[in-house]
Amino acid sequence: MSRLWDRGEPLEATIARFTVGRDPELDLRLVAYDALASLAHAMMLVDIGILDREELPGLRRELSTVIDEAKVGAFPIDLADEDGHTALENRLTERLGDSGRRIHTGRSRNDQVIAALRLFGRDAVLDVIEELLATTELLHSLGETHREVSIPGYTHTRQAMPSTLGFLFAAYAEGLLDGVPWLVTAFEHLNRSPLGSASGYGVALPLDRQRVADLLGFSRVQENTLAVQNDRGRTEMLTLGALLAPSLDLTRLATDLIWMSTDEFGFVSLADQVTTGSSIMPQKRNPDVLELIRASGARLRARHAEAANLYASLPAGYHRDLQLTKEPFLEGLRETRDLLRVVRPVLETLVVHPDRGRRAMTPSIGATDEVYRRVAQGEPFRTAYKAVAQDPATAVTGDPAEAWRDRQHLGAPGAKAGSGVRRRLDAAREWVEGRRAAIETVWEALLATS
């Protein structure tokens, strides 16, 4: 096959390889979306008289075949094709002749790639939210199960106040859930049609941009055609930015699980089936999965910075630099989905040792609760504080490991979860299901052979 812009002059092989980069491999993940967008574009070209209505069934059939092939990774994109958009047009031309030669009327690869990226991104963000909600659900239920398992609460990695293991899990559940609105914003940013912007300056045809947007289920057209191009890279950065929230939460959770499961602490231990061994030390079971979750978070922050840096110094409009924002975007979405998924078997099989958390507590961890016992009897806070500070360890009365029971207010360690998390979980799930169903309906309508 050949490049769309080929005029017959040879292209230096090293230049071809360098400029194509990872496109053949990465575009394979976008081809199905490119095909759907091409179908919507073709339907609009029929409406404005560029394509004949009789050409549509052939295009629909061929594009559906491409979608099926792409789904199993079987749509070939060669180096000679340069990218997935070229491979797609070449395929349509090879099978359908002039319909293939007409499909690019009123578009450019510049708006074509953005359309594919946004349609892909919509689904991928929904995947991430779904995984996030499943993990939140699990953490929320572990919060209940271990609500009364005493462990020290720490600040500065020093014992601070008595707490519980369930409280820690519930905190992560709530934190993850707080990231959902970030992801919804990314989804909505992605959900605007770039098509018709062509290379960034429109074309001399009465394109019906709204019709294409409707056919693809985009919430609206992104109007200014140059703004569309200026948004490439920035959209990727925004989406990667939204992924940072859950990935940072999981990074910290992974770190907590690593230290809590050490031989020295042993508040929990990791099941054999989620740990890995050592080639030299027979006794070792290592938390590699948690370390890679942590590393994956570090890489995501680098991917976010990569997109921002690629974007930062460009003048308005399309530049080939933007091709390189594809990799952090596609990989960042995939990795975040995976890390949200892979933590679940670790949590599901976690073995809890309530005695270890209890035994780890120093007597003085109950000092603040002792101060509050005095406060409850009318003593001024500072006076009580100073009295306990004389010798905190001996001042503590009662079992410090149970002192969290005295904290009864909303959200305190050991308190039963309020209905807020449950409500927000359900609302988020409903939102995702609504978006999924809407997208499904749109694809069915688009591919229906009527």
List contacts with ligand ARG (CB under 6 A).
23, 83, 109-110, 113, 318, 320, 322-323, 326
| SS3 sequence of 337-398 | HHHHHHHHHHHHCCEECHHHHHHHCCHHHHHHHHHHHHHHCCCCHHHHHHHHHCCHHHHCCC
Nearest partner of 32 among 124, 106, 102, 94, judged by Cα: 124
* Dmax (CA) of the chain: 92
Is 409 tagged catalytic? no
Q: Residue 312 Cβ, how far from ligand ARG at the closest point, in Å?
A: 17
Alpha-carbon span 195 to 213, nearest angstrom: 8
Q: Which of 156, 279, 419, 450 is catalytic?
A: 156
Q: Least distance in Å: CB of 227 to ligand ARG?
A: 17
Nearer to ligand ARG, 4 or 184 (CB): 4
Half-sphere exposure in the Cβ direction for 164 (13 Å, CA) = 23
One-letter amino acid for residue 245 of the chain: A
Is the separation of the CB atoms in 404 and 413 below 8 Å? yes
**CA atoms within a 13 Å half-sphere pointing along the CA-CB vector of 298:** 8
CB closer to ligand ARG out of 314 and 415: 314
Could you tell me the CA-to-CA distances from 427 to 146, 202, 431 in Å, in that order? 25, 40, 6
Q: Which is nearer to ligand ARG, 274 or 322 (CB)?
A: 322
The question of whether 41 is a catalytic residue gets the answer no
CB of 109 to ligand ARG, least distance (A): 4
Kindly state the DSSP code that residue 403 receives in the 8-state scheme.
G
Min dist. Cβ of residue 446 to ligand ARG (A)? 23
CB of 83 to ligand ARG, least distance (A): 4
Q: Which is nearer to ligand ARG, 169 or 311 (CB)?
A: 311
Q: Which of these is catalytic: 64, 193, 278, 313?
A: 278
Task: Compare residues 107 and 140 and give the one whose CB is closer to ligand ARG.
Answer: 107
* Active site (catalytic) residues: 156, 278
